[in-house]
Amino acid sequence: MIKGLAISTIWVLDQDRAKEFYTEKLGLELRTDITMGDGGMRWLTVGAKNQPEVELTLMVPSPPAMDAESAEAMRKLIAKGILGAGVLATDDVHGDYQKLSARGVQFLQEPQERPYGTEAIFRDDSGNWFSFTQKREGDLDHGKDWA
C-alpha cells in the first residue's frame, strides 16, 4: 500500500550550485550527498527540517537517468525557465518572501491573494519555478467557482 511521497526529483543544471541555493538561500537541510561508485552518479538530497519523511533529490539530467538526447533536451527546458517544480508551503509567506528576497532568491511574483491562500512565485538557480504558498485558514469550498 502506498503510504505517501518520499522523494521527488528536481532537475538542476549544476548540483554544487543547487546544493548552495537550496540549503543556504532556501534554508532546507542537506540530507544526502554521496557518489555511487567510482565516477558514478551523485545522489544529492535536501528537505525541510520539519518534514523528515520527504526529500528532494537534486539531479542533473544525464545518463543513466536518461539517454543523452533526452538529457540535452531537458537541460534546455530547465535553462529556458519553463518547468514548474512544485509548491513549497510556508506559514508566513510575507515574512519569508522578505527573508528569501534578502538572501538573493529571484521572485517572479510578490505574494498575492488566491482562492487557496497567498502565493508568491520564485525561481531556483537553474530556472525551475516554484509556487511558494501559505494556505488559507479553515476549509476551502472545493465546489465554489473562483472565476
pLDDT for residue 55: 97
Section 3-22 average pLDDT: 96
CA distance 88 to 22: 12
CA distance 118 to 77: 28
Phi/psi at 24 (5° precision): -85, -40
pLDDT for residue 93: 97
Tens digits of residue pLDDT in 52-109: 999 999 999 998 889 999 999 999 999 999 998 899 999 999 999 999 999 999 999 9
pLDDT for residue 138: 67
Which residue bears the cell 537550496?
Answer: 22
Which residue bears the cell 537541510?
Answer: 29
CA distance 145 to 147: 6
Tens digits of residue pLDDT in 15-54: 999 999 999 999 999 999 999 877 788 999 999 999 999 9
Residue 108: how many other CB atoms lie within 10 Å: 11
pLDDT for residue 77: 95
pLDDT for residue 146: 43
